[in-house]
């Protein structure tokens, strides 16, 4: 059911809005199309690398404290879209965008918005686990220290490792290198590192594609646990994974000019059982991709 309601902006106060440098319409004056609080509102969004258009007129909303999966064939722009959500693409000189991408009503690309603060609030976990070549403890402590987060560091490290379901496995070897852990443990360490700077959103770009099935299931269980407190957006090429973990799923596909477009967005069960678009049906039944 589509319900029109005013979005309650509970996570970003006016003071924080100013800290982020935004001069924009408060989220409470915006209209949402999904039930509940909306974190991202993507509207007529186009992304370019030089003259190549990678995303074509994408629009959808991401609700708070849910898992949203981005699926679609390789090259359809899933990672590009994900990276646009915390301005990671700023680092690519040929990148530019059109349209809007708001976060709690703040346009992330508005002049004055600080990309460093954006990336603290909207953390990212990558395909290949990438711990720093430092101790497990230092992997976690680094972010809060650099961000000037006050508090007892030992407690922060423990809290983050517990939240990432890693504490029991590493509590007796916090001084050992993060690189000595298994692949699955390294990925949970990277998730703990992302949590340590007190984000609101975790973006995950194929976080399990380098892991074995057991480590994969552990991360999936962890994602469901984390969705109680955080908004999660995951790119996955694994449709079963999307079906297992995601509350909502966005299916993207390439147009003939190779720009990615959003074909369908909906709750995961509906999208996988009764898709509205023939192209979604063809993809999920394995007819292409
Ligand atoms: P997906 O994640 O769905 O596989 P990507 O977002 O990685 O898709 O890529 C979408 C398109 O954008 C592809 O055609 C890819 O070659 C292109 N692309 C991705 N990153 C860059 C880049 N840094 N420079 C130029 N083109 C890029």
Distance (Å, whole) CA 143 – CA 49: 30
| Overall domain count for the chain | 1
The answer to whether position 172 is within a domain reads: yes
Handedness of CA 107, 109, 110, 116 (dihedral sign): positive
The answer to whether position 289 is within a domain reads: no
Taking the CA of residue 82 as reference, the ligand 1 atom at the shortest distance is 6
Which structural domain, as residue segments, surrounds residue 176? Answer: 5-284
- Mean pLDDT computed over every residue of the chain: 89
The answer to whether position 104 is within a domain reads: yes
Taking the CA of residue 76 as reference, the ligand 1 atom at the shortest distance is 3
Is residue 164 within 8 A of residue 185, CB to CB? The reply is no
Pocket residues for ligand 1 (CB within 6 Å)?
49, 54, 72, 74-80, 92, 94, 258
pLDDT score at 26 = 40
Tell how far the Cα of 169 is from the centroid of ligand 1, in angstroms: 37
Q: What is the domain-level CATH number for residue 90? A: 3.40.50.300
The answer to whether position 120 is within a domain reads: yes
Sheet containing strand 67-71, strands side by side:
106-107, 95-103, 38-49, 52-63, 260-267, 248-254, 67-71, 231-235, 201-205, 122-125
3-state secondary structure of 91: helix
The answer to whether position 110 is within a domain reads: yes
The answer to whether position 242 is within a domain reads: yes
Confidence label for 13 from pLDDT (cuts 50, 70 and 90):
low
Confidence label for 23 from pLDDT (cuts 50, 70 and 90):
very low
pLDDT score at 36 = 73
pLDDT in tens, 174-217: 999 999 999 999 999 999 999 999 999 999 999 999 999 999 99
The answer to whether position 226 is within a domain reads: yes
Tell me how far CA of residue 122 lies from CA of 103, 166, 233, in angstroms: 9, 21, 10
pLDDT score at 202 = 98
Residue 111 has what DSSP assignment?
Answer: T
Nearby residues of 142 by Cβ (< 8 Å), 6 or more positions away: 132, 134, 193
The answer to whether position 146 is within a domain reads: yes
Tell how far the Cα of 205 is from the centroid of ligand 1, in angstroms: 13
């Amino acid at each position: 059911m589509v319900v029109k309601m005013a979005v309650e902006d509970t996570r970003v106060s006016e003071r924080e809005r100013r800290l982020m440098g935004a001069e924009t319409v408060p989220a409470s004056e915006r209209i949402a199309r999904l039930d509940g609080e909306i974190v991202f509102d993507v509207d007529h969004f186009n992304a370019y690398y030089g003259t190549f258009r990678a995303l074509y007129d994408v629009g959808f909303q991401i609700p708070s404290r849910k898992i949203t999966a981005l699926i679609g064939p390789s090259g359809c722009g899933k990672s590009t879209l994900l990276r646009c959500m915390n301005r990671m693409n700023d680092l690519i000189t040929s990148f530019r965008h059109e349209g809007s991408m708001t976060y709690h009503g703040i346009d992330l690309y508005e002049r004055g918005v600080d990309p460093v603060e954006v990336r603290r609030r909207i953390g990212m976990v990558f395909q290949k686990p990438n711990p720093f070549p430092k101790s497990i403890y230092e992997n976690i402590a680094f972010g809060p220290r650099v961000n000037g987060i006050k508090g007892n560091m030992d407690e922060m490290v423990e809290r983050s490792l517990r939240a990432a379901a890693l504490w029991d496995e590493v509590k007796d070897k916090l001084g050992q290198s993060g690189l000595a852990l298994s692949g699955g443990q390294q990925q949970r360490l990277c998730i703990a590192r992302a949590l340590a700077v007190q984000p609101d959103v975790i973006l995950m770009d194929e976080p399990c594609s380098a892991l074995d099935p057991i480590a994969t299931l552990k991360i999936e269980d962890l994602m469901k646990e984390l969705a109680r407190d955080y908004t999660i957006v995951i790119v996955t090429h694994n449709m079963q994974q999307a079906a297992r973990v995601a509350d909502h799923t966005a299916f993207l596909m390439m147009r003939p000019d190779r720009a990615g477009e959003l074909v369908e967005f909906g709750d995961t069960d509906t999208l996988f059982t009764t898709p509205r678009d023939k192209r979604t049906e063809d993809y999920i039944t394995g007819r292409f991709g």
